[in-house]
Chain A
Amino acid sequence: MTFSVRQVPCRLRLGLLALAPILLLSTLFAFLPPDGLERAAWAQFIGRFHLLTVHFPIALILIAPVLEWAGRNPRFPYLRSSVDFLLALAMLSSLVAATLGWCLARSGGYSGRLVTQHMWGGVSVAAACWLCWLLRRYFRGPRLDFIYILALLAAVGLVSWTGYRGGQLSQGENHLTEQMPATLRKLIGFSVRSQILPRSNPAYFYGAYVEPIFVGHHCYSCHGPEKQKGRLRLDSYEALMHGGKDGPVVKAGNVKGSELFHRVTLSPSDDDAMPPQGKRPLASNEIKLLELWIAAGASSTLPANAIKDAPTTPEPVVAEVTFEEIDPAAVAQLRAPLAREVAQLKQRFPDLLDYESRGSANLVIDASALGARFGDDDFAAVKPLSEQIVIADLSGTAITDRSALLLAAMKRTRVLRLTNTKITDATVLALGGLDRLESLDLYGTSVTPACFKVVERLPKLRHLYAGATKIPADVPVSEDMKGKLLF
């Protein structure tokens, strides 16, 4: 069977002609791919509009099947009549978006698998639109309709995948799953954050000390399999030694001449510093390891123990304290059950008690400032709150053994101070249930070694202050108690 262009209807020829820009763009992609070099700023400027225009074809392609489906309902048949136009528009706009995307990738220093896939995905989306449009417009019929539906679904799938890759390109590899709740993760069996682990043999210096630096500082996210900023990859020894767009970054034996070493030792605020501004710079021992390794010849087979005095024990990462964020609503809810009692007690004894912190419902009671004015009967007022108290300082108050029951009911107490009070062993013997008690201060009371019977069994106890009591400093105690007993 022979086939000639003349056999094709005139209007279909126009349709086929529309393939030409797609092919042209593909040629461009094939011969001038993004190669990790930065080019003219104006091209980058235009390229940035890719991020704006790209959403237009996405919406058009997604709306086409919706119109087709909804148009099957006899009430709105007119919906289907615009699908042709939409598909043509989707093809054109995806061509524009893909062209802009190429501008961005080619001039913005992109390279790697991710950008390549995204780029070819984009041009495939344009091609798929073209196919759908052609099929719908010129090839109708029961069997061809089926092919059309398949093509449309393929276009939707393709645009979703390309969009996802694009998202990874701009927002990071795991931009969709990053914030997924742990319960959902578990439910769908999604692995907890994958991590690239060092793969080289740790028997060699490179595998043991050099590669872990790159891994630890997430160098691969820009210089790895997915992205290669400056055409540099660090994810293998060969790639590292091959270097980037300006040649090798490691010159064996030449520390000063090695670009890699130069970049990591720049001041963190320098534009050329690596890791880039805002990322954790290399620790001094990591820099030293790189220096020693390069100076020793930067070999991949240098034994791990070849360099004497290498600072191989990692420095502790600079410790940072974190501050919890306080949610006032949650705190109010936490405090609600006993809020009235707390308010009443505050009314009666201002400055006697307060919450442990602004984010907590735990109570701290300190009666030491009231001194002898505060006795058993006053202390009894605390009773409804006893379970909430975590720190209690009753030093110098007039409380006696009569308060023992109340003290014993303060089950969550971590710190209990009873210095210079009239309490005796009887009170201490009642405290056996305080299994969270960490510090018991009995200084200046008349307790005797008899109280050890209970104290020894307090599981969390770290300090027992027994100065100025009837407990002699040379009292025989168990080995366990010896470290806790303080005079």
Chain B
Amino acid sequence: MSDSEIRAKNGPPQTELTGEIPLQVRFASLQAQTRRHFLRSFTAGVGSMFLGTLASQFAPPVKAAERGIDGTPRLDFTRDPSRPLSILPPQFTPRAKRIIYLHMAGAPSQLELFDHKPDLNKLDGQECPASFLVGKRFAFISGVPKLLGAQYPFHQAGKNGQWMSDRLPHLEKHIDDLCLIKSMRTDQFNHAPAQLLVQTGNARLGYPSMGSWVIYGLGTENQNLPGFIVLVSGGNQPDGGKQLWGSGFLPSVYQGVQCRSHGEPVLYLENPPDVSRPLRRRMLDAVDEINQQTYAEFGNPETITRIAQYEMAFRMQMDATDAMDIHKEPAAVLAAYGANPAGSSFANNCVVARRLAERGVRFIQLYHWGWDDHGTSAKDSLNIGFADRCRETDQPIAALLTDLKQRGMLEDTLVVWGGEFGRTSMRENRNGQVMQFIGRDHNPGAFTIWMAGGGIKPGMSYGETDAMGYEIVKDPVEIRDLHATMLYAMGFDHRKLTYSFQGLEQKLTSVKPARVVAEVLA
């Protein structure tokens, strides 16, 4: 038989069977290597190097373990690399399918909103007890500060008589829908690390945000929009920067996409003048082809991510513009939110949040900057700036809740409101001086957040602070507990939503044991 006859009989030569390790396996093997592997394999002398080489030759390719550290089967989050955002079922029956997180950047004062402390009001102006200062670090307070009572009157609202101040008249109508957690605690007392802790479960850079974890775990239904969208208002980016919605070590397709409610939703999303949609398509096809070649060569899934991102941007040109365009809302709706399509505002972002929720976006993150009321200037004071922030957010949040409730979406939307820490029971005295405006310093020891909707018990309050509102005396909730509770609502055991990186099964709640706050679950 000639060569050609053999080929005809056996088909084309089978290159896959020549001992090539599949790309994914090779990549997984490289990713599983840590510095320790390196040191173990290649230290101390030629002998161990020789043995190390031998060992690595005969070792089987590293395969992702099917069982976690606790011996139970690991959840599989692998997807078709070209569709990294496709939906996956949650671990168990979820109570919520999407999250709207309203982060009040700068940390609003719980003592002016929800944490009613009549005893503190009585002691207003007195020197704070020494026990408040022992072993504490403050951002600015120095010497012996004076106690500061609430700056606004409190009253009871709703069926369960929840205490709240007069600053949130619109939200008050929804007080029976909210679950207040008055015993939140953090271990960070500066904005950027504290915001990182709230958003990524870790005070250091480089960890995936909760939105990234959620869309990594569940994917998103609408492939024409990002699954995790971020909207910023208040005139400034939050101090934690864009890392707050970064994807850390997760593939970057899971990072949050920052959009705008005014003008182009995503900068440079529109085609430039004279570039038509078919022309754009042809350009993308060419780029995709080059990227496919790169992937075939290196096997890095980030290349696939890149292709998927280009494709999504192409689809977004149509859908995102429509979703973000609040001109399409009736005037009555815009008025209810206090939104003005001509500018950009938190109110506009709340309208957009609802439109995105309706379109199947999984995680919608709003930041409103400007709550850092130290009392250094009028706009950073409890008596002026704080009241403005309340006015800017109160009506839109209430309107958002109304809209969600009316459309039946509060059933499966988890809404979370909160800052990154609390504020002190003492008036800030920067450099030991009495300041012109009234303010409070950072207090990581206690703050209030609220949750509403999907799977959360409405009309309740959880946890207690002491008579001065300074420290927690009952049912403390750590940030990781909040994360565990949110993931529970989304249908996950927080210990099972993991990603192997640097020799750890990484998870949102990090390594310390976290607790699902079962008491606040409906």
Residues of A within 8 A of B (CB): 316, 318-321, 323-326, 328, 350-351, 354-360, 364, 366, 368-369, 395-396, 415, 417, 419, 439, 441, 443-444, 463, 465, 467-468, 486-487
B493 within 8 A of A: yes
B359 near A487: Cβ-Cβ < 8 Å: no
Cα distance A487–B407 in the bound complex, in angstroms: 8
A350 near B72: Cβ-Cβ < 8 Å: no
**What's the nearest-Cβ distance from chain B to residue A12, in Å?**
60
25 cross-chain CB contacts under 8 A: A318-B518, A320-B516, A321-B488, A321-B521, A326-B73, A328-B73, A351-B86, A351-B219, A351-B221, A354-B88, A354-B89, A357-B491, A358-B89, A358-B91, A358-B92, A359-B91, A359-B92, A360-B93, A364-B89, A417-B408, A419-B407, A439-B411, A441-B408, A463-B411, A465-B407
**What's the nearest-Cβ distance from chain A to residue B515, in Å?**
8
**What's the nearest-Cβ distance from chain A to residue B429, in Å?**
36
Cα distance A318–B222 in the bound complex, in angstroms: 39
Given B73, B88, B221, B516, which contacts A369 in the complex, CB threshold below 8 Å? B221
Cα distance A154–B87 in the bound complex, in angstroms: 68
B360 within 8 A of A: yes
B94 near A357: Cβ-Cβ < 8 Å: yes
Cα distance A75–B516 in the bound complex, in angstroms: 69
Q: A321-B488, A321-B521 are in contact. Are A356 and B89 (CB under 8 A)?
A: yes
Cα distance A350–B360 in the bound complex, in angstroms: 14
B519 proximity list for chain A (CB < 8 A): 316, 318-319
Known: A439-B411, A465-B408. 6 other contacts (CB 8 A): A351-B86, A357-B92, A358-B89, A366-B221, A369-B224, A465-B407
B405 near A486: Cβ-Cβ < 8 Å: yes
The 6 A-B residue pairs with the shortest CB-CB distance, nearest first, are A319-B518, A441-B408, A369-B222, A369-B360, A465-B408, A323-B493
Cα distance A405–B198 in the bound complex, in angstroms: 48
Q: A351-B221, A368-B221, A369-B360 are in contact. Are A358 and B408 (CB under 8 A)?
A: no
B91 near A467: Cβ-Cβ < 8 Å: no
B406 near A487: Cβ-Cβ < 8 Å: yes
Cα distance A360–B491 in the bound complex, in angstroms: 12
A357 near B89: Cβ-Cβ < 8 Å: yes
Cα distance A324–B405 in the bound complex, in angstroms: 31
A328 proximity list for chain B (CB < 8 A): 73
**What's the nearest-Cβ distance from chain A to residue B497, in Å?**
12
Cα distance A306–B59 in the bound complex, in angstroms: 74
Cα distance A441–B406 in the bound complex, in angstroms: 9
Produce 1/0 per residue, B56-91, CB < 8 A to A.
000000000000000011010000000100111111
A441 proximity list for chain B (CB < 8 A): 407-408
A357 near B91: Cβ-Cβ < 8 Å: yes
Interface residues on B, range: 35 or more
Cα distance A322–B449 in the bound complex, in angstroms: 25
Cα distance A319–B522 in the bound complex, in angstroms: 12
Smallest Cβ-Cβ distance to B361: which chain A residue: A369
Given A325, A396, A419, which contacts B408 in the complex, CB threshold below 8 Å? A419
B358 within 8 A of A: yes
A351 proximity list for chain B (CB < 8 A): 86-87, 219-223
B86 proximity list for chain A (CB < 8 A): 350-351
B407 near A350: Cβ-Cβ < 8 Å: no
Q: Which of B472-503 contact A (CB under 8 A)?
A: 488, 491, 493, 496
A326 near B91: Cβ-Cβ < 8 Å: yes
Decide if the interface of chain A is mainly helix, strand, loop or mixed.
loop
B496 proximity list for chain A (CB < 8 A): 323
A356 near B407: Cβ-Cβ < 8 Å: no
Smallest Cβ-Cβ distance to A418: which chain B residue: B408
Produce 1/0 per residue, B337-363, CB < 8 A to A.
000000000000000000000111000
A355 near B89: Cβ-Cβ < 8 Å: yes
B92 proximity list for chain A (CB < 8 A): 323-324, 357-359
Cα distance A325–B224 in the bound complex, in angstroms: 35
B358 near A396: Cβ-Cβ < 8 Å: yes
Smallest Cβ-Cβ distance to A320: which chain B residue: B518
**What's the nearest-Cβ distance from chain B to residue A316, in Å?**
8
**What's the nearest-Cβ distance from chain B to residue A226, in Å?**
33
Given B90, B359, B405, which contacts A358 in the complex, CB threshold below 8 Å? B90
A443 proximity list for chain B (CB < 8 A): 406-408
A359 proximity list for chain B (CB < 8 A): 91-92
Smallest Cβ-Cβ distance to A487: which chain B residue: B406
B88 proximity list for chain A (CB < 8 A): 354
Smallest Cβ-Cβ distance to A441: which chain B residue: B408
B83 near A350: Cβ-Cβ < 8 Å: yes
Q: Which of B222-273 contact A (CB under 8 A)?
A: 222-224
B521 near A467: Cβ-Cβ < 8 Å: no
A364 proximity list for chain B (CB < 8 A): 89
B224 proximity list for chain A (CB < 8 A): 369
Cα distance A59–B445 in the bound complex, in angstroms: 62
B94 proximity list for chain A (CB < 8 A): 357
B87 near A354: Cβ-Cβ < 8 Å: yes
Cα distance A443–B412 in the bound complex, in angstroms: 16
B90 proximity list for chain A (CB < 8 A): 357-358
Which of A325, A357, A444 has the largest number of chain B CB atoms within 10 A?
A: A357
Cα distance A268–B488 in the bound complex, in angstroms: 27
B91 near A356: Cβ-Cβ < 8 Å: no
B89 proximity list for chain A (CB < 8 A): 354-358, 360, 364
Q: A354-B88, A417-B408 are in contact. Are A321 and B83 (CB under 8 A)?
A: no
**What's the nearest-Cβ distance from chain B to residue A483, in Å?**
13
Cα distance A439–B408 in the bound complex, in angstroms: 8
B493 proximity list for chain A (CB < 8 A): 323
Which of B87, B408, B411, B412 has the largest number of chain A CB atoms within 10 A?
A: B408
Smallest Cβ-Cβ distance to A417: which chain B residue: B408
Cα distance A465–B407 in the bound complex, in angstroms: 7
Smallest Cβ-Cβ distance to B406: which chain A residue: A467
Smallest Cβ-Cβ distance to A350: which chain B residue: B86
B72 proximity list for chain A (CB < 8 A): 325
Q: A326-B73, A368-B359 are in contact. Are A350 and B223 (CB under 8 A)?
A: yes
A358 near B358: Cβ-Cβ < 8 Å: no
**What's the nearest-Cβ distance from chain A to residue B328, in Å?**
13
**What's the nearest-Cβ distance from chain B to residue A250, in Å?**
28
Which of A319, A354, A369 has the largest number of chain B CB atoms within 10 A?
A: A369
**What's the nearest-Cβ distance from chain B to residue A373, in Å?**
10
Cα distance A42–B493 in the bound complex, in angstroms: 46
B222 proximity list for chain A (CB < 8 A): 351, 369
A415 near B411: Cβ-Cβ < 8 Å: yes
Which of B73, B83, B411, B521 has the largest number of chain A CB atoms within 10 A?
A: B411
A395 proximity list for chain B (CB < 8 A): 358
Cα distance A191–B408 in the bound complex, in angstroms: 48
A326 proximity list for chain B (CB < 8 A): 73, 91
Produce 1/0 per residue, B391-411, CB < 8 A to A.
000000000000001111001
Cα distance A37–B75 in the bound complex, in angstroms: 50
Smallest Cβ-Cβ distance to B407: which chain A residue: A443
Cα distance A366–B359 in the bound complex, in angstroms: 11
A463 proximity list for chain B (CB < 8 A): 408, 411
B91 proximity list for chain A (CB < 8 A): 323, 326, 357-359
**What's the nearest-Cβ distance from chain B to residue A330, in Å?**
12
Cα distance A368–B224 in the bound complex, in angstroms: 12
B223 proximity list for chain A (CB < 8 A): 350-351, 369
**What's the nearest-Cβ distance from chain A to residue B453, in Å?**
13
**What's the nearest-Cβ distance from chain A to residue B505, in Å?**
16
A358 near B407: Cβ-Cβ < 8 Å: no
Cα distance A320–B73 in the bound complex, in angstroms: 22
Cα distance A486–B402 in the bound complex, in angstroms: 11
A323 proximity list for chain B (CB < 8 A): 91-92, 493, 496
Cα distance A417–B357 in the bound complex, in angstroms: 14
Smallest Cβ-Cβ distance to B516: which chain A residue: A321
Cα distance A326–B94 in the bound complex, in angstroms: 15
Which of B89, B94, B222, B518 has the largest number of chain A CB atoms within 10 A?
A: B89
